[in-house]
Structure 1
Amino acid sequence: MSEEQAISAVVHLYVDGMAFANEGALRKAFHPNASVVGTSGGAVEWMTRDAFIAAVTKEGAAPPDAQPLMEVEMVDMTGDIASVKVIDEFAGARYSDYLSLLKVDGRWLIVNKVWHRHG
């Protein structure tokens, strides 16, 4: 598997994990010390990986036949770091997510997510 394919696999885990409230997929995609940051109602939301996963699982899964939106707009990789911009949907809203990935012990993991909710 190429590095690009490995990064894409992590992004798929992330999007499917959010869409279907799959805690295992999200834990596999994110580094344990990852942070998730964005603004909601003008206030900064800063979450740990575990708080983010809890929020996703509380929201619940999309219907099993749903096709999650995942538009990868940019992938930039240098050595063992990468940045990915992905457009996705969660809880009925569209988001732009910027994911920072790091290759740790041979595996790509999301170490930071910064998000923007559209509309």
Structure 2
Amino acid sequence: MSDEQAISAVVHLYVDGMAFANEAALRKAFHPNASIVGNYEDSVEWLDRDAFIAAVVTEGSAPPETQPLMEVEMIHITGDAASVKVVDEFGGSRYTDYLSLLKVDGRWLIVNKVWHRHA
């Protein structure tokens, strides 16, 4: 599997994990020390991986027949670092996510997510 294919698989795991409140998928996609950052209700929200996963699980799963929106607009890879821009939907809102990934022990993991919620 190429690096681009492996990164795409992590992004799919992330989007499906969010859409279906799949804690195991999200834990597999994110590094344990990952940061999730965005503006929420006029203030910057900084979450660690566990707080982010808890928020996703609290929001709950989309119906099982749902096909999650996922538009990967960009993947840039330089050695063991990568950046991905993905548009997705969660909790009835559309987001643009900028994901930073790092290859750790041969596996690509999301180490940082910066998000924008579209109005």
Query: Normalising TM by the smaller chain, what interval?
Result: over 0.9
CA distance, structure 2, for counterparts of residue 95 and residue 3 of structure 1 = 25
Counterparts of 1:41 and 1:22, CA distance in 2 = 25
Secondary structure class of the residue paired with 2:26: helix
Q: Distance in 1 between matches of 2:104 and 2:45?
A: 26
Q: Is residue 53 from structure 1 mapped to residue 19 from structure 2 by the alignment?
A: no
Q: How many residues matched?
A: 119
Query: Could you tell me which amino acid in structure 2 is paired with residue 115 of structure 1?
Result: W
Question: Which letter does structure 2 place at the counterpart of 1:12?
Answer: H
Partner of residue 64, structure 1: 64
TM-score normalised according to structure 2 size: 0.99
SS in 2 for 1:67: coil
Could you tell me which runs of 5 or more consecutive residues in structure 1 were left unpaired when the two chains were aligned.
Answer: none
Shift of 1:4: 0.4
Indicate the RMSD between aligned Cα atoms, in angstroms. 0.3
Q: TM-score of the superposition, structure 1-length normalised?
A: 0.99
Using the aligned pairs only, state the percent identity: 80
Per-residue deviation at 1:83?
Answer: 0.2
Q: Which runs of 5+ in 2 are unaligned?
A: none
Matched AA of 2:85: K
Deviation at 1:40, TM superposition (A): 1.1
